[in-house]
Amino acid sequence: MVALAGLFLILFLLVHLGINLTLILCESSKPFNVAAHFMGTNIIIKIFEIVLFGAFLLHIIYVLILQIQNWFARPKRYKIPNYSQSSFFSKFMIWLGGIVLIFLVIHIANFYFKSKFGHIEEITYDNVQYYADLSSLVIQKFQITWFVIFYVACFLILGFHLWHGFQSAFQTLGLNHAYYTPIIKKLGMIYTIVVVAGFTTIPLVIYFTY
């Protein structure tokens, strides 16, 4: 369940990144606002939101259950720890995940809930009215110094979580092979670099150019 929910969230991040990149790659904010309007009003996407939040909850709950089981299984630590079978990041996944969870709560409060329940001005393109000018909200947030630093730092931490989680998910699902595993690790590294670089570039570009 942790692996499947994690892979689902990995796919979601790519979609989310693609939409957000329109803020700095397009000359106007129209593509972003139109995409945000579609994501917020389409019935299929609304169902997908429920699935997405369910995936988040499943991932968090099962990780906590597994971690607690591990702690109870070995209440007294080894006198001489053996780290040869675990990567540096895997030993701190629960703590990295906790930081990511805090970031996620702040991120949802600042963007998702404000877009749904806040008072954001509507915007019109080609005589079609869209329910909110979300691009202005994002740009406003990314002009705050501490928020940009916090956002970038959290995505760097998320990168460590993704780097280990990507390959670990496939291994959990049984895809552990002398030929395929190195490929999965390289794909995980590429994916992590692309996602982290993309999400951290957006606030930095907006902060320094808007």
The pLDDT tens digits for 147-162 are 999 999 999 988 887 8
Phi, psi of 10 (to 5 degrees): -60, -45
Q: What span, in angstroms and rounded, lies between the C-alpha atoms of 122 and 63?
A: 40
| Local confidence band at 118 (pLDDT 50, 70, 90 cut-offs) | low
| 80 occurs within a structural domain | no
Which of 63 and 82 is assigned the larger pLDDT? Answer: 63
Q: What span, in angstroms and rounded, lies between the C-alpha atoms of 102 and 106?
A: 6
The structure tokens listed for 122 are 């509507």
- Are 202 and 26 in contact by the 8 Å Cβ rule? The answer is no
Q: Which pTM value belongs to this model?
A: 0.77
Count: domains in the chain: 1
| 112 occurs within a structural domain | yes
**pLDDT of amino acid 38:** 85
| 92 occurs within a structural domain | yes
| 82 occurs within a structural domain | no
| Local confidence band at 124 (pLDDT 50, 70, 90 cut-offs) | confident
| 48 occurs within a structural domain | yes
Q: Which residues contact 131 (CB under 8 A, 6 or more apart)?
A: 37, 40, 41, 122
Domain around 34:
2-75+87-209
